[in-house]
Structure 1
């Protein structure tokens, strides 16, 4: 009798994240997961508890990566409006460069699950809250530096920026080029 195949759980979560991101939760069967991860069904259930638990780990990984990427860009060097412009262009270019045009796993999950799954809704809402908080901090910094009118409500501008990013990510799923997204980015930064 052979020894059971060993696998790295972190790599498995990454591979599962890519699969769920490409195909969605509902279209991803347990068999497709074990084939993609190169593990047996027993290992899937023993290591992760099942498809749903693995999805939760994959979504958490995605959310952490997205939050880190946005925070690094927004906290980087340079004037506030230029950091915002760089961040928005990064989002647009990343989504447009994806040959599968997967969009955002968090938004895709929100669309697929809606409010029917409290855990998914809470995870996605948490990401929205963190990104909106980062935008708010950026706006407030811009207000202190004189780049953004201090009379504008920072919380409202942060909500607008979050909604703009979410709209851009949806648009990028079907857009053939960057022109429309570039106009959105320029108009958004000009609004501030």
Structure 2
């Protein structure tokens, strides 16, 4: 008896996510997707309408994972500075099995300029993460953890841009010491 189709689809999306994250959308061939997922070409196209459809599902999967972890962290009772430190260090010290960089950031530069569907998906995701950060910063400000004159939305944009920059720097080969110096500088704002 085979595995349920839903399990196979979820496993394929996870594997495709890692393939796209490593190489990018354009550079990931159908053959590489077959190798990554363990599915044949016909199975990929029977399960997913197209490479683009599989990519969109993989990107959504990535976003859901990252946003769930971010929301969970920001809802804790940690001090705001510790929450922000954790977010920054996710980019400094990613899980060892992760490809360098960030699938969202990579997609913003590779696809968003010419793919309206992906651009809109990324825009909504970016708004969601900025709002999660803004709310946490607002709460920290209300508790007196940061200067009351600081703008929570501006700080959320700053953290978002810093994390994106760290991910790009990591993908570009910046070593851990360099990444840590960027994160420490950013943390000084809080």
Query: Normalized against structure 1, the TM-score is what?
Result: 0.88
Runs of 4+ residues over 6 Å off in structure 1: 3-6
Contact 2:21 2:99 in 1 (8 A): no
> What is the match of residue 123 of structure 2?
125
- Which segment drifts farther, 78-87 or 52-61? 78-87
> What is the match of residue 134 of structure 1?
132
- Which segment drifts farther, 163-172 or 68-77? 68-77
1:1-192 paired onto structure 2 within 5 Å:
8-94=8-94, 97=96, 100-101=99-100, 103-192=101-190
Task: Provide, for residues 82-115 of structure 1, a one-character-per-residue CA deviation record: whole Å limited to 9, x for no partner.
Answer: 12112211222007x45752x0011111111132
Contact 2:18 2:99 in 1 (8 A): no
- Which segment drifts farther, 34-43 or 158-167? 34-43
Task: Provide, for residues 42-77 of structure 1, a one-character-per-residue CA deviation record: whole Å limited to 9, x for no partner.
Answer: 221111112111111011101111111222222223
Q: 1:189 to 1:26 in 2, by over 3 A?
A: same
Contact 1:77 1:83 in 2 (8 A): no
Aligned length: 188
RMSD: 2.2
Aligned residue for 2:25, secondary structure, equals coil
Structure 1: which 5+ residue stretches go unaligned? Answer: none
- Which segment drifts farther, 156-165 or 67-76? 67-76
Q: 1:135 to 1:99 in 2, by over 3 A?
A: closer
Task: Provide, for residues 113-158 of structure 1, a one-character-per-residue CA deviation record: whole Å limited to 9, x for no partner.
Answer: 1321011111222221111111101110111111111122211111
Q: Name the larger-Rg structure.
A: 1
- Which segment drifts farther, 29-38 or 40-49? 29-38
Structure 2: which 5+ residue stretches go unaligned? Answer: none
Aligned residue for 2:93, secondary structure, equals helix
Contact 1:5 1:39 in 2 (8 A): no
